[in-house]
Amino acid sequence: MKALLGDTVVAEAAKEDLISIEGNWYFPSTSVNEQYLVKSATPYTCPWKGECQYFSVKDGDTLLQDRAWSYPTPYPDSFDRVGKDFSNYVAFWKEVKVVE
């Protein structure tokens, strides 16, 4: 599967390596082209997953605010709910489309 911003591949991994959580595909951090991500200061804590790290996604000279996110240190109880450790996996939204 691929996370695409236009024709740019932001992340790519086999479907079996991704994790689906609440309708979003989470990519292993090793499959993400980090050159397109910039850490964001936007704060958010999910009541059951924990503290979130947002990223803005680079599109040429444009920075698309908070189009990706990750949970660097999720709550341990969340692993039971998800069925797997999803620490540092990255999900995308809006202009970054996930396709098979």
pLDDT at 87: 98
Domain containing 54 equals 2-99
pLDDT at 61: 87
> Which residues are registered as beta bridge partners of 46?
50
| The dihedral sign for the CA sequence 91, 96, 97, 100 | negative
Q: What is the mean pLDDT of residues 6-21?
A: 97
Please say if the pLDDT value at position 53 is more than 90.
yes
Of 85, 94, 88, 46, the residue nearest 66 (C-alpha): 94
pLDDT at 4: 97
The CATH number assigned to the domain holding 39 equals 2.170.150.40
The count of structural domains within the chain is 1
pLDDT at 59: 85
For the chain, what is the mean pLDDT?
96
pLDDT at 58: 94
